[in-house]
Amino acid sequence: MTDLPEPTVRPPGVGPLGDRFGRVATDLRVSLTDKCNLRCTYCMPAEGMPWLPSAELLTDDEVVRVVGVFVALGVTEVRLTGGEPLLRRGLVEIVRAIAALARGPACR
Ligand code: SF4
């Protein structure tokens, strides 16, 4: 049996980001699009899926704002993903803005 630390509960919005087993999350993955040309069986049905309307996706500014909240909570590494291939009109600006956040997370 594995010895796990006593669960702790932090108030919302107080970093670092930890779970009730004491693990601290310092990395974040953000999917920038739901569109993908591949059909990995664990992710998408072979017949595909209806894509979300653009109005339901986070805007570029909203993506950067969300990442900024996580950076403020201790995230130091951000991975931007999406479908295959990753295509998003504002991708360069999003990467630039995330890289410029105060704590300067690594972007991959
Ligand atoms: S989004 Fe990723 S996991 Fe899902 S089908 Fe595309 S490549 Fe596979």
Enumerate the domain spans of the chain.
27-107
Tokens of 37: 């040309």
What pLDDT, on a 0 to 100 scale, did the predictor assign at position 4?
64
Is 72:26 a contact under the CB 8 Å cutoff?
Answer: no
pLDDT along the chain (108 residues), means of 10: 62 76 92 90 85 93 95 92 91 95 62
Question: Which of 89, 2, 83, 85 has its CA nearest to residue 44?
Answer: 83
Give the Å distance between the CA of 82 and the centre of ligand 1.
Answer: 8
Cβ–ligand 1 contact at 39 (below 6 Å): yes
Beta carbon of 84 within 6 Å of any ligand 1 atom: yes
Entry pTM: 0.78
In a mutational test of the pocket of ligand 1, which residue from 37, 41, 44, 49 has the highest number of ligand atoms less than 8 Å from its CB?
Answer: 44
**Ligand 1 atom nearest 82 alpha carbon:** 1
How many angstroms separate the Cα of 2 from the Cα of each of 5, 8, 21?
Answer: 10, 17, 12
Q: Which atom of ligand 1 is nearest to the CA of 36?
A: 6
pLDDT of res. 9: 58
For helices 60-72 and 91-99, angle between their N-to-C axes, nearest 10 degrees: 20
